[in-house]
Amino acid sequence: MADIPDIVPETEEKPVVHPIVIEGLRNQFGPNIVHEDLKLTVERGKVLGVVGGSGTGKTVLLNSILGLQKPSAGAIHLFGQDITRLSEKKMRAMQSRFGVLFQSGALFSALSVVENICVPLTEYARLKPAMAREIGLMKMALVGLPLDAADKRPSELSGGMIKRTALARALVLDPELLFLDEPTAGLDPIGAAAFDTLIRELSDSLNLTVFMITHDLDSLYAICDEVAVLADRQVVETAPPKVLEQSEHPWIHEYFHGPRGRVSKGE
């Protein structure tokens, strides 16, 4: 009898789960509506820059995604889970899957560099101090910090070293998603360029998804796959910087072609 070939059942393709999907987001403070029906999707492994004029709610949007600001309406999905509906325990578990670098660095002045980096390890992983320190030292090397800075206090660091310490702390739990709030603010052009290069290299090597609020046009061109523009209470356009150069939206056009725009300088 001839062999009867095995019948392999057709398998349905699993839907793609993006790290961030925002739908119908509304943020309102009293009569002031900051965001209305805002939509945004961030694909895995991409670096997304977020820009917008003063008062467009960039920080409010970031705080909403981090779970620090409860929106008035809408859904914020991180890795397929709507964080607006998560319990405190589940939200805490979710927070261990992303890292955050705040604009000022937000280091603890009483702790050393390596102690600052290890804070999430003691908070989430509950590791013994010796093991936590070893991991902290590895993260220092990852972000280009000299190991002899491990026991220095933040007050002894340069602006660039503060940023790298904060970045090491954001990466210490090996997150899948990294949030950056004005990462190059306060750095000189050379330091800012070096930090941009570091973020791009880390994103590529660690397959990180990066959500970055910035005003720095050089950063947008250097490391962003796409840029989301906040205006008119929404994300009005999301595209690579070179595509946004052609936008007819008044704010976007002014941003790229205005006195400080790279396009106007012929760069």
- pLDDT of 7 reads 58
pTM: 0.89
Q: In this structure, is residue 114 part of a structural domain? A: yes
Residue 252 has pLDDT above 90, yes or no: yes
Distance of CA 83 to the CA centre of its chain: 17
Range of the domain at 118: 107-174
Q: How far apart are CA 38 and CA 72, in angstroms?
A: 12
Residue 168 has pLDDT above 80, yes or no: yes
Q: In this structure, is residue 126 part of a structural domain? A: yes
Per-residue confidence band for 179, with pLDDT thresholds at 50, 70 and 90: very high
- pLDDT of 231 reads 95
Q: How do 226-231 and 47-52 pair as beta strands? A: parallel
Cβ distance 178 to 101 under 8 Å?
Answer: yes
Tens-place pLDDT, residues 218-248: 999 999 999 999 999 999 999 999 999 999 9
Tens-place pLDDT, residues 126-165: 788 899 999 999 999 999 999 999 999 999 999 889 999 9
Tens-place pLDDT, residues 197-225: 999 999 999 999 999 999 889 999 999 99
H helix or E strand, kind and range, residue 218:
helix 217-223
Q: In this structure, is residue 205 part of a structural domain? A: no
Q: In this structure, is residue 124 part of a structural domain? A: yes
- pLDDT of 104 reads 76
State how many domains the chain has. 1
- pLDDT of 152 reads 95
> Highest mean pLDDT: which of 121-125, 188-192, 229-233, 259-263?
229-233
Q: In this structure, is residue 98 part of a structural domain? A: no
H helix or E strand, kind and range, residue 256:
helix 250-257
Residue 15 has pLDDT above 90, yes or no: no
DSSP structure string for 182-211: STTTT--HHHHHHHHHHHHHHHHHHT-EEE
Q: In this structure, is residue 141 part of a structural domain? A: yes
- pLDDT of 221 reads 93
Q: In this structure, is residue 11 part of a structural domain? A: no
Residue 265 has pLDDT above 90, yes or no: no
Residue 182 has pLDDT above 70, yes or no: yes
Q: In this structure, is residue 97 part of a structural domain? A: no
- pLDDT of 48 reads 97
